[in-house]
Structure 1
Amino acid sequence: MARLTFDDIYHVSLSSLGAAADDWKEMVDQLDTLATDAVDGMVKQADAARWAGANSDVTKPFVRKTAKEFGDAHTQAKGIWSMLRDAHSDLVKVQSDIKKLVDVEAKTKNVRVTGLDDGTVYCVYLHQRGDSDQRTQKQLDYLDDLASRINNLIAKADEIDNSAAGALKKIHGSDSHNFGHAKYDSLDDVQAERAVQLAKKSLAKYKQGEELSTKELAELKQLLSDNAKDREFSVDFYKALGPKDALRFEAQVAIDASAEGDKTQLKLAHSIQTSMGVALATATDPPTGKDNPDTAFRENKDYLGKAWQSELKRVGRNKLELGIGFDHAEPVGYQALSSLLRHGNYDKSFLVPVAEDMVTIERKGGGWPIPDQFNGENHFGLNLDKKGGPGWDPMTGALEALGHSPEASTAFFNGSTGEGADDDLKKLSNLDYFLGDKDGKNGREWPADKTSGYILPDEKSKTFGKDALGHALESATTGRAYDSDGPSVKHGQEQADLFHTVVEKIGSNPDLVKADGSLAPIADSLGNMSAEYMHDIQRTIAGGDQSGYIGHFGADAYLDDLNEEGNELKQFLQATAEDPDAYASITHAQQAVTTEIIRDAMANPGDETLSAAATRAAAPGGEISGLTSAGRADAIAAADDSVEKINEYNQKLETGNKWVSRVVEMGVGKIPVGGDVVGWAVEDIQEATLNHYTKDPQEAADQIVERKPRELSERRARSGRPGRKTSGSRRSTTGRTLH
Structure 2
Amino acid sequence: MTHLTFDDLYHVSLASLGSAADDWKEMVDQLETLATDARDGMVKQSEAARWAGVNADVTRPFVRKTGKEFGDAHAEAKAIWAMLRDAHKELAALQSALKQAVDIDAKHKFIQVTGLSDGTVSCVYLHRRDTNDVQTQAQLDYKDRLESRINKLIAQADDIDKSTAHALKTIHGGNSHDFGHAKYDSLDDAQSARAVQLARKSLAKYRDGDELSITELAELKRLFAQNSKDREFAVDFYKALGPKDALRFQAQIALDASAEGDKTQFKLAHSIQTSMGEALATATRPPTGKDDPNSAFREDRDYLGKAWQTELRRVGRAPLSFERKNARVEIRGYQVLGTLLRHGSYDKSFLTPVAEDMVTFERKQRWAWPGPHNSYAGLGVDRFGLNLDKDGGPGWDPMTGLLEGLSHSPEASTEFFNGSTGEGEHDGLKKISNLDYFLGDKDGKGTREWAYGAAGIKVSDTENFGKEALGHALESATSGRPYDSDAPAKNHTQEQADIFDSVVKRVAANPELFKGDGELAPIAGSLGNMSAEYMHDIQRVYAGGDDSGYIKDTGAQPDLSDYQDKYKLNKFLKTTAEDPEAYATITRAQEAVTSETLRNAIDNLGPNEDLGDAAETAVIPGARVEGNTAQGRADAIAAADDSVKKAEEYNDSLEAGDGWLGRFTDLGIGVIDNVPVAGDAAGWVIEDLREAILNHKAQSPEDAAQEVQENRDAYLVAEREKRAQEAKQSFYDSAARAGLDIHSDSVKGAATRVYNASYNANAVEKS
Matches within 5 A, 1:149-160: 149-160=149-160
Q: What residue number does 1:254 align with? A: 254
Q: What residue number does 1:427 align with? A: 431
Displacement, 1:546? Answer: 1.7
Q: What residue number does 1:418 align with? A: 422
Contact 2:258 2:388 in 1 (8 A): yes
Matched, 1:474 2:491: no
**Which whole-Å CA distance do the structure 2 matches of 1:77 and 1:261 have between them?**
46
Displacement, 1:261? Answer: 2.5
Paired letter, 1:196: V
SS at match of 1:113: strand
Paired letter, 2:113: V
Greater shift in the superposed pair: 675-684 or 387-396: 675-684
Greater shift in the superposed pair: 170-179 or 186-195: 170-179
Q: What residue number does 1:645 align with? A: 646
Displacement, 1:171? Answer: 2.1
- Cα deviation code 1:19-40 (max 9, x no counterpart): 2212222332333333334434
- Cα deviation code 1:348-402 (max 9, x no counterpart): 1211121112211221233111249883754202111111122111100000000
Matches within 5 A, 1:189-588: 189-291=189-291, 293=293, 300-324=300-324, 329-367=329-367, 368-371=369-372, 375=377, 378-379=381-382, 380-448=384-452, 457-561=458-562, 563-564=563-564, 567-588=567-588
1:690 is aligned, of 689, 693, 696, to: 693
Paired letter, 2:16: S
Paired letter, 1:190: A
Pair 1:209–1:58, CA change in 2 (3 A): closer
Contact 1:320 1:333 in 2 (8 A): yes
**Which whole-Å CA distance do the structure 1 matches of 2:34 and 2:574 have between them?**
80
Pair 1:49–1:212, CA change in 2 (3 A): closer
**Which whole-Å CA distance do the structure 2 matches of 1:317 and 1:136 have between them?**
55
Paired letter, 2:699: D
Matches within 5 A, 1:9-28: 9-28=9-28
Displacement, 1:154? Answer: 2.4
Pair 1:14–1:468, CA change in 2 (3 A): same
SS at match of 1:4: coil
**Which whole-Å CA distance do the structure 2 matches of 1:45 and 1:250 have between them?**
53
Structure 1: where are the runs of 5+ without partners? 714-722, 726-739
Greater shift in the superposed pair: 57-66 or 205-214: 57-66
Q: Aligned-pair RMSD on alpha carbons?
A: 3.1
Structure 2: where are the runs of 5+ without partners? 718-764
- Cα deviation code 1:333-354 (max 9, x no counterpart): 1111111110000111211121
Pair 1:139–1:218, CA change in 2 (3 A): farther
Contact 1:553 1:666 in 2 (8 A): no
SS at match of 2:113: strand
Pair 1:15–1:442, CA change in 2 (3 A): same
Pair 1:565–1:155, CA change in 2 (3 A): closer
Greater shift in the superposed pair: 394-403 or 239-248: 239-248
Pair 1:667–1:119, CA change in 2 (3 A): closer
Greater shift in the superposed pair: 549-558 or 436-445: 549-558
Contact 2:410 2:480 in 1 (8 A): yes
**Which whole-Å CA distance do the structure 2 matches of 1:445 and 1:347 have between them?**
27
Pair 1:670–1:682, CA change in 2 (3 A): closer
Pair 1:400–1:114, CA change in 2 (3 A): same
Pair 1:53–1:331, CA change in 2 (3 A): closer
Pair 1:132–1:118, CA change in 2 (3 A): same
Contact 1:270 1:385 in 2 (8 A): yes
Identity across the alignment (%): 63
Contact 1:471 1:482 in 2 (8 A): yes
**Which whole-Å CA distance do the structure 2 matches of 1:674 and 1:566 have between them?**
31
**Which whole-Å CA distance do the structure 2 matches of 1:192 and 1:33 have between them?**
30
Greater shift in the superposed pair: 527-536 or 100-109: 100-109
Greater shift in the superposed pair: 202-211 or 57-66: 57-66
- Cα deviation code 1:145-191 (max 9, x no counterpart): 55444333323222211221122222233444443222111111211
Aligned length: 710
Paired letter, 1:284: T
TM-score by length of 1: 0.89
**Which whole-Å CA distance do the structure 1 matches of 2:97 and 2:248 have between them?**
36
**Which whole-Å CA distance do the structure 2 matches of 1:322 and 1:138 have between them?**
49
Contact 2:5 2:154 in 1 (8 A): yes
Contact 2:370 2:452 in 1 (8 A): no
**Which whole-Å CA distance do the structure 1 matches of 2:327 and 2:312 have between them?**
22
Paired letter, 1:527: G
TM-score by length of 2: 0.85
Greater shift in the superposed pair: 304-313 or 653-662: 653-662
